[in-house]
Amino acid sequence: MNDIANFIGGRNVPPLSSAYLENVDPATGEVYGRVPASCPQDVDAATAAAAAAFPAWSATPASERSQILLGLADLIDENLELLARAESIDSGKPLSLARAVDIPRSAANFRHFATAILHISSEFHDFDGGGIPGGVPALNYTLRRPRGVAGLISPWNLPLYLFTWKIAPALATGNSVVAKPSEITPMTASLLADLCTQAGLPPGVLNIVHGTGPECGAAIVRHPDIPAVSFTGSTKVGQWIAQTAGPMFKRLSLELGGKNPLIVFEDADVPLAMETAMRAGFSNQGQICLCGSRILVHESLVEKFIADLTERARALRVGDPLDAPTQQGALSSRAHLEKVASLVNLARDLGGTIHCGGDRVAATSLPTRCRSGFFYQPTVISGLDPACPVEQEEIFGPVVTVQAFKDEAHAVALANGTKYGLAATLFTQNASRAHRVAARMEAGIVWVNCWMVRDLRTPFGGAKASGVGREGGMEAIRFFTEPKNICIAG
């Protein structure tokens, strides 16, 4: 059994209640470890450790914090294989994906913020006293200070990548942290704790508590000594966090669900659009918040586009995540598999055409060890009403829907026609159209002729029900620091 512990005050400690959750390998359906089922008292202990570590860490020169975090990034690189394997077993994603994307990007997160803090400047306003009764000349400058103990909560789909995307800026700017990874994918967070010790991060600066959302996550959100909460996860939980933390006047960053359109205009580079639609639809079994799960295609192209997409989706190699040729692994949990299956069944009931997939992968077509795993076939659906739940709700699985549109205005209306607003992707070779349509997308991120190209300096986050606040670059540095205006007359 791979039992893991909480990481509090620099030590691995069991949960106070001695209660554990089962950790299931989604590729086999078998329990392979236990995760602490932490209670609010564990969160109290982690918060106390973080609060005790805060004064010294926040006073540590930026150059020293930077060195420690750069050392941590190097350790992540050195342990690539160990971390990638743990991530694959925990989440069901192909080992090749964890090795190529999740783990290298986790190291990149630390490098990015470890170096960004060496170049921060803050605002200065030279006021001449004019225009305001009683005004006198004054110099204003904005002092930014870390907020204190940051509460960070992350989901299971990109476990170490999203965990470190929050931890890196919080620590770099001098905060101490209480962090909770998803209880479904806790392994790489636990390994990260060991690497933090090796990197020389002082005890208590980063504390990791494991457990369920309603028990352990909620205790972080409610904790009076945690003034800032950064959450990535579902819109439903994000709503609860906003309702709970809002009246406590906490700083909140909420990165939530998406139902992202991918638009293929009649002037698109169609082979590029097709190749990208496959990646945007099916990478990580469609379990990426940025996935382009609603494909909108000009009516002149749609028939052939669906035929080609179907052929490619059928050809995806679904199998053991640890096998090198595997392109599609398992879904993260049995409950999630059932949710995906129920939405596809609903599409069928609503009269949608299922071009391929539409069911669990037959056990007989899987390697012996994976026969009880949570595998779903890559699925392409068309013919649904854009207003139906399958087109409106996030499925978060290897399922794409296709709609035809008549003209640009129709494409924009379909693209913006959900409650979500995380990302949108456009394929057009007309530069004017690219700018015009991109500006009209109700989304925090718009990609033109590409997908998932991430510059870590740019603002990251969603509009509408996809969240509030932005992460990345200066946005994250602002989020984790409290601005104070100092006005000196003279």
Name the residues annotated as catalytic. 255, 289
> Within the chain, what is the greatest distance between any pair of CA atoms?
82
Please list every residue from 239 through 268 that binds ligand NAD, using CB under 6 A: 240-241, 255-258
* Part of the chain binding ligand NAD (CB under 6 A), chosen from 29-37, 103-111, 151-159, 406-414: 151-159
Residue 180 interacts with ligand NAD (CB under 6 A)?
Answer: yes
Residue 394 interacts with ligand NAD (CB under 6 A)?
Answer: yes
> If binding means CB under 6 A, how many residues of this protein chain bind ligand NAD?
32
Q: Is 64 exposed, middle or buried (0-12, 13-18, 19+ CB in 10 A)?
A: exposed
What element of type H or E holds 104? helix 103-116
Residue 422 interacts with ligand NAD (CB under 6 A)?
Answer: yes
Q: Is 106 exposed, middle or buried (0-12, 13-18, 19+ CB in 10 A)?
A: buried
Q: How far apart are CA 250 and CA 150, in angstroms?
A: 10
Instruction: Map residues 430-469 to x or -, x wherever contact with ligand NAD holds by CB under 6 A.
Output: --------------------------------x---xx--
The token pair at 97 is 């994906």
The token pair at 259 is 């139902």
Q: How far apart are CA 90 and CA 231, in angstroms?
A: 21
Residue 293 interacts with ligand NAD (CB under 6 A)?
Answer: no
Residue 173 interacts with ligand NAD (CB under 6 A)?
Answer: no
Question: β-pairing, 423-427 with 261-264?
Answer: parallel
Residue 183 interacts with ligand NAD (CB under 6 A)?
Answer: yes
Q: At residue 306, what is the residue type?
A: I
Residue 213 interacts with ligand NAD (CB under 6 A)?
Answer: yes
Asked if residue 389 lies in contact with residue 346, where contact means CB atoms within 8 angstroms, the answer is yes
Residue 157 interacts with ligand NAD (CB under 6 A)?
Answer: yes
Q: How far apart are CA 384 and CA 357, in angstroms?
A: 16
Q: For the residues of 114-131, what is the DSSP string, one character each? A: HHHGGG----EEEE-STT
Q: How far apart are CA 373 and CA 29, in angstroms?
A: 5
Residue 153 interacts with ligand NAD (CB under 6 A)?
Answer: yes
What element of type H or E holds 139? strand 138-146
Instruction: Return the number of the residue (137 or 214) whose C-beta is nearest ligand NAD.
Output: 214
Residue 232 interacts with ligand NAD (CB under 6 A)?
Answer: yes
Question: Could you give the count of Cα atoms lying within 13 Å of 9 in the half-sphere of its Cβ?
Answer: 12
In whole angstroms, how close is the CB of 231 to ligand NAD at the nearest point?
6
Residue 289 interacts with ligand NAD (CB under 6 A)?
Answer: yes
Residue 169 interacts with ligand NAD (CB under 6 A)?
Answer: no
* Part of the chain binding ligand NAD (CB under 6 A), chosen from 90-98, 178-186, 357-365, 474-482: 178-186
Q: How far apart are the first and last CA of the chain?
A: 68
Residue 221 interacts with ligand NAD (CB under 6 A)?
Answer: yes
* Part of the chain binding ligand NAD (CB under 6 A), chosen from 38-46, 131-139, 206-214, 322-330: 206-214
Which residue's CB comes closest to ligand NAD?
A: 213
Q: In which order are the strands placed within the sheet that holds 20-25?
A: 2-3, 30-36, 20-25
Q: Tell the residue number behind the tokens 């620091």, with chain if given.
A: 481
In whole angstroms, how close is the CB of 184 to ligand NAD at the nearest point?
7
Instruction: Return the number of the residue (206 or 256) whose C-beta is nearest ligand NAD.
Output: 256
In whole angstroms, how close is the CB of 5 to ligand NAD at the nearest point?
17
Residue 135 interacts with ligand NAD (CB under 6 A)?
Answer: no
DSSP letter, residue 269: -
In whole angstroms, how close is the CB of 485 to ligand NAD at the nearest point?
31
Binding site for ligand NAD (CB under 6 A): 153-157, 162, 180, 182-183, 212-214, 217-218, 221, 232-234, 237, 240-241, 255-258, 289, 394, 396, 422, 462, 466-467
